[in-house]
Chain A
Amino acid sequence: MNAAGMQIHLLYFARLRDALACDAETITLPGSNHDVATLLAHLRQRGGIWASELSGDKPFRVAVDQHMATPATRIPDGAEVAVFPPVTGG
């Protein structure tokens, strides 16, 4: 954590990765107080496909440091956050 904000390593999988045309990126968010909801709001501000895919109209899941998360899950500095469609294995 530092004055410049906090780093988040983002991963995207399956249909969402294809739709967003992005499999991984590292972003810096201002401040040090973020949860999944504020991260998603930040990503939706990019507009276009980011706003429509992450609006909640289509279901998706978020994992923080490889644990399933909710909108209220805190994001630590340097966290690995994955965004993906509902799973379909088995």
Chain B
Amino acid sequence: MADIHVRVQHDDFSLDAELARLADPLRRCGAIASFVGQVRNDPAGNHALTALTLEHYPGMTERSLHALASDAAVRFALDAVVIIHRIGTLQPGERIVLALTAAAHRKAALHAVDYLMDHLKSTVPFWKQEHHGAQHRWVDAKHADDAALQQWQAHDAAR
């Protein structure tokens, strides 16, 4: 059984602290890979991004993250998976998300991080709102043509 750890929190996280927390008593892990996402200053026209607010669906978020981590652990034979996602209002440069994996070998650990982030971005209920000064704008999903949408469209076409 992989060591699975997911958290949704307002507070910042520390990669060092999460690395230190990884238990590997049998010394099986030859590889640890991580991704840290942070708030990028994406200007809207000539208005700088002043903040980003992250909202989520309490309950479903934690459930989805745990399911995703468990799925990745089996798929890539991971020994440990950590996903931490922040919520609330964050400033440019602040950390948003951590995906951390431990495996016997490098490629499994690296591919698993990519897999976690791709799926997190399309299946876990978080939403970003950009603040450009007094203007607030919900961020549109970048992959609106994903499978779930096609299912809706197929249903609508059949009506």
Interface residues of A, Cβ cutoff 8 Å to B = 11, 13-15, 18, 37, 56, 59, 61, 63, 66, 68, 70-72, 82, 84-90
Contacts and interface: CB of A to CB of B under 8 A. Distances in A.
- Highest count of chain B CB atoms <10 Å: which of A13, A14, A82: A14
Nearest to B35: A90
Contacts of B70: none
- Highest count of chain B CB atoms <10 Å: which of A59, A70, A82, A88: A88
Nearest to B124: A89
Contacts of A59: 141, 144, 149, 152
Interface of B: 37, 54-57, 59-60, 63, 85, 96-97, 117, 120-129, 138-144, 146, 148-149, 151-153, 155-156
Given A71-B152, A90-B120, A14 B54 contact: no
A84 B122 CA distance: 13
B128 A88 contact: yes
Dominant secondary structure at the B interface: mixed
B1 to A, nearest CB: 23
Given A59-B149, A89-B128, A84 B37 contact: no
Contacts of B54: 89
A37 B155 contact: yes
Contact of B123 (A13, A15, A18, A68): A68
A85 B56 CA distance: 11
Nearest to A17: B55
A61 B148 contact: yes
Given A71-B151, A85-B141, 19 more contacts: A13-B125, A14-B138, A15-B138, A18-B138, A56-B156, A59-B149, A63-B57, A63-B60, A82-B57, A84-B57, A85-B127, A86-B146, A87-B121, A87-B123, A87-B124, A88-B140, A89-B124, A90-B97, A90-B124
